[in-house]
Amino acid sequence: MKKLPKTINITLKIWRQQGPKSKGHFETVPLKNVSVHMSFIEILDTVNEQLTLEGREPIAFDNDCREGICGACGAVVDGRAHGPEKATTLCQLHMRKFSDGDTIVVEPFRARAFKVVKDLVVDRSALDKIIQAGGYIAVNTGGSPDANALPIAQEMANKAMDAAACIGCGACVAACPSASAMLFVSAKVSQLALLPQGRPEAAKRAIGMVKAMDGCGFGNCSNHRECENTCPKEISIANIARLNREFFKASFASEE
Amino acid sequence: MQLDAKIPGGPLEEKWDRHRFDLKLVNPANKRKFEIIVIGTGLAGGSASASLAELGYHVKTFCIQDSPRRAHSIAAQGGINAAKNYQNDGDSIWRLFYDTIKGGDFRSREANVYRLAQLSNNVIDHCVAQGIPFARDYGGLLDNRSFGGAQVSRTFYARGQTGQQLLLGAYGALMRQVAAGSVEMFPRREMLDLVIVNGQARGVVVRNLITGEMESYAADAVILTSGGYGNIYYLSTNAESSNVGACFRAYKRGAVLANPCFTQIHPTCIPHTGDHQSKLTLMSESLRNDGRVWVPRNSGDIRDPQDIPESDRFYFLEEKYPSFGNLVPRDVASRNAKDQCDAGRGVGLTRCAVYLDFSDAIQRDGKDVIAKKYGNLFEMYERITDETPYKMPMMIFPASHYTMGGLWVDYNLMSNIPGLFVLGEANFSDHGANRLGASALMQGLADGYFIIPYTIGGYFAGTILEPVTTGHAAFNQAVQEGQAKLHRLMSIQGKRTVDNIFRELGKIMWEFCGMSRNAKGLEQALQLIQSLRAEFWENVLIPGTEKDFNKSLEKAGRLADSLEFAETMVVDALARDESCGSHFRTEFQTEDGEARRDDENFCHVSIWEYQGEEERPAFHKEPLVFENVELSQRSYK
């Protein structure tokens, strides 16, 4: 039958910061006999149980669904947002991806627009502000035509779905040398631009969302492609190209 | 206590139309004079907030996460049902209604379920208009798939992320109203109390989870959409912050609970690997279409699965239920898996798992066909377990997933407290003793988009509401009580962590009030819960401070509620001397081990009213009247 669970010993160097205005520092926590079946979030749970019993304050971190879809969790692990595994959120990263004796560095997502709340928790409300600037189709409840009244080519629906898979975790921002939210903005602009329902507001949306992004203190795209490389949902930078087209088109045509 | 479900008269098909006409209206200019509080931003809360704001009401919306987009509806995978009959396969509103009533084992209200089936079609229309990228066929029309408990294809889906897409649609609508100034959004807030003035729900007290400060908000009505209590088992498919708190606070203020023991245990989840485990991940039930469930025939057989010859394998579902085989409903599949593990035939590290084997399907259809159907699920499984189902059989085990019980509501989705409405999983209304797949999303959105906008108007138009501000003594009292509870929790400084005690509660509930229950075990559970609760209040250890971002303190508050609520669940399970749907009392089964309903004595909603700490709640019942369907016994042999 199954072999006994493998365990490893690791050392965590974790960022501690009491509040947005406090100075942060790294704290070293050695962990012994860690089951390789644990997720990275469960490692943080384990550390917190240990700290609590020692009478110290646990590490603050965000998480919720623990199955890679809510977008709440996230930290920079060994220099990469969500850690070393491709297309994986922090909660789905398992300890078998690490080796016995590893020292692992854990820091919050860093960006001008994401201020640190405490330890690994950051304020990502700027992403909500960008959506408020047009990341929707303005239909009121009631009065919609029959769902099948408007056929949409399967290919378009699929592309829209690829873009719509964004979980709003902010890893793209943390990975970007300019701390840009272009991948996030482009995912929503693309989803809605690809669908006929989204066309009437396409120009307004592209201009509004980019303006909101700039206003929140995010940088601009510098074509490093780090965002795409880091995105746990593998959102393609083809969406950024589409956003640029939508934006230019809108800038020429719009009266705003 | 008089509980009136306020079900409109007349034929089933006409009840909702008739009722909508009978409901009084609030004129557009007057709507802006009303303030509404919404707790939660899942499918029900997000859709309700947006729709009410569109009508002109002032809405204050609260969520526990850092953004309303993260509510746990986001994790729903499979799809959303609607009676569109786009496949021309014989579906109808009546059929969706009937399947839902039967799937719930005849323990839900006919009128509510029929309305749900009617509104299902409006929900799909609206979601498409919002730009939800549903799956489409080559001609560009919407695609459907089948789900458990139905013989038609009526499930609309967006890959394996239907919940995410529908939630982001509602979230977009909500953000639009925030931008318009009609909704004020309060993230990272947890509701600690409901404030009642003159017998009406008039506000809430919440804790700001960043600063730790208490905040009071007044309104003309309060809508709870705070989801279910599946986390009572500690290990569940629910998100970490999903909790019973808001509903339980309302219960302590007089709102009554209905059928709290009806909890759904989903059969196909990834088993746990050890005590570090914090959650269980669901694998879509569609896998049972091609996977064969088995365990070693001899208990204690620890050979690798590929070394166990066919003759030593026990395909227990296929042998016991030849006609439905691996596709028996969720409750039956879950119970049987547990029975096998209890008999010592479980597999895997903890011996708490059964195999779900695709080797026959791969041999029959080829790897490519199977990959096309289940590729993303296999990938997800491999990410978590490090084993590929293409080579090794999957290991699965049941896990807590959804709760059918909740706060009691009438046909208007209003609780017994005037002005307190409850939508989505938080209420009890539509799924009876067992929910069918792809029906939770349908209900959450029907409640929020298409029911509450009408019924809340009827309430406002027919009610006298005195002006109330947060300066009212009732707010002050709620703040004091909330603060006192937090002080008390922080002052204990015992030896056990919150998670450590929570895990023990989960084990008690799983063992005695989970997939199968009996009177003796339930009585024992009552004792165990009471002594664990006593220990919690003497020995819990909460680090940090009160006026700060303090997850341990948040969790401790929720655990305190759960330790009381668990008892209500057990009391309910004890009082229902029958088996129905998810509620399987081992004393009440047929000769061949199936659930035996008792329609003569238990065809009712069990309702519980809070009587004070350490007191048994008072029991009330709402009889269920079936005028349109005939009660039948479910059989899957």
The pLDDT tens digits of the residues spanning B510-563 come to 999 999 999 999 999 999 999 999 999 999 999 999 999 999 999 999 999 999
The pLDDT tens digits of the residues spanning B258-291 come to 999 999 999 999 998 888 899 999 988 878 888 9
The dihedrals phi and psi of B555, each to the nearest 5 degrees, come to: -65, -35
The pLDDT tens digits of the residues spanning B499-520 come to 999 999 999 999 999 999 999 9
Q: What is the mean pLDDT of residues B85-106?
A: 96
What integer pLDDT is reported at residue B420 of this predicted model? 98
Are residues A218 and A129 part of one domain? yes
DSSP per-residue string spanning B136-179:
B-TTSSBP-EE-TT-SSEEEE-STT-HHHHHHHHHHHHHHHHHH
Domain assignment present for A200? yes
- Is residue B100 scored above 60 in pLDDT? yes
Looking at the complex, does the CB of residue A92 fall below 8 Å from at least one CB of chain B? yes
What integer pLDDT is reported at residue B332 of this predicted model? 86
**Which residue in the set A48, A96, A136 is minimally distant from B172, CB to CB?**
A136
The CATH number of residue A85's host domain is: 3.10.20.30
CA-based nearest distance B415→chain A, Å: 24
What integer pLDDT is reported at residue A2 of this predicted model? 46
Q: What is the mean pLDDT of residues B6-33?
A: 96
**Which residue in the set A49, A60, A153 is minimally distant from B497, CB to CB?**
A49
What integer pLDDT is reported at residue A256 of this predicted model? 60
Domain assignment present for A2? no
DSSP B230: G
Are residues A212 and A160 part of one domain? yes
What integer pLDDT is reported at residue B633 of this predicted model? 82
Q: What residues make up the domain containing A152?
A: 125-253
The CATH number of residue A249's host domain is: 1.10.1060.10
Look at B241 and A64 and tell me if their CB atoms are within 8 Å.
yes
What integer pLDDT is reported at residue B324 of this predicted model? 81
Are residues A135 and A113 part of one domain? no
Q: CB-based contacts of A185: which residues, under 8 Å, 6+ apart?
A: A130, A209, A210, A213, A243
| Token reading at B193 | 């109390």
Question: Of B399, B431, B8, B54, which Cα lies nearest the Cα of B234?
Answer: B399
Q: Domain tally for chain A? A: 2
Look at B129 and A142 and tell me if their CB atoms are within 8 Å.
no
Residue B583 CA to residue B576 CA, distance in Å, equals 9
pLDDT band at B132 (very low <50, low <70, confident <90, very high): very high
What integer pLDDT is reported at residue B16 of this predicted model? 98
Are residues A46 and A151 part of one domain? no
The pLDDT tens digits of the residues spanning B383-396 come to 899 999 999 999 99
What integer pLDDT is reported at residue B138 of this predicted model? 93
Domain assignment present for A249? yes
Looking at the complex, does the CB of residue A215 fall below 8 Å from at least one CB of chain B? no
Look at A94 and B303 and tell me if their CB atoms are within 8 Å.
no
Question: Of A80, A66, A120, A107, which Cα lies nearest the Cα of B276?
Answer: A66
Domain boundary among A86, A102, A118: A118
The pLDDT tens digits of the residues spanning B422-449 come to 999 999 989 999 998 899 999 999 999 9
Please state which CATH class domain B12-264+402-461 belongs to: alpha beta
Domain boundary among A94, A118, A142: A118
Average pLDDT, chain B: 95
Please state which CATH class domain B473-623 belongs to: mainly alpha
Question: Of B38, B4, B192, which Cα lies nearest the Cα of B607?
Answer: B4
Domain boundary among A91, A118, A145: A118
Look at B386 and A94 and tell me if their CB atoms are within 8 Å.
yes
Q: Where are the domains of chain B?
A: 12-264+402-461, 267-398, 473-623
pLDDT band at B593 (very low <50, low <70, confident <90, very high): confident
Query: Which residues of chain B make contact with A2, given a CB cutoff of 8 A?
Result: 348-349
The single residue listed with the structure tokens 């042999």 is: B637
Are residues A67 and A174 part of one domain? no
Looking at the complex, does the CB of residue A41 fall below 8 Å from at least one CB of chain B? yes
Q: Is B439 helix (H, G, I), strand (E, B) or coil?
A: coil
Domain assignment present for A1? no
Active site residues of B: 330
Strand A25-35 to A7-16 pairing: antiparallel
CATH architecture of the domain with range B267-398:
Alpha-Beta Complex (3.90)
pTM of the model: 0.97
Residue A132 CA to residue B179 CA, distance in Å, equals 5
Are residues A40 and A56 part of one domain? yes
Are residues A131 and A114 part of one domain? no
The pLDDT tens digits of the residues spanning B190-207 come to 999 999 999 999 999 999
Look at A133 and B304 and tell me if their CB atoms are within 8 Å.
no
| Token reading at B195 | 């404030």
What integer pLDDT is reported at residue A5 of this predicted model? 57
Are residues A137 and A95 part of one domain? no
What integer pLDDT is reported at residue A1 of this predicted model? 40
| Token reading at B431 | 């799924």
Chain A contact probe: residue of B70, B144, B277, B450 with most A CBs at under 10 A: B70
Residue A136 CA to residue A159 CA, distance in Å, equals 17
**Which residue in the set A153, A191, A197 is minimally distant from B129, CB to CB?**
A197
The pLDDT tens digits of the residues spanning B479-500 come to 999 999 999 999 999 999 999 9
Domain assignment present for A240? yes
Mean pLDDT by 10 residues, chain A (256 residues): 71 97 97 94 96 96 96 97 96 95 98 98 98 98 96 96 98 98 98 98 97 97 96 98 97 76
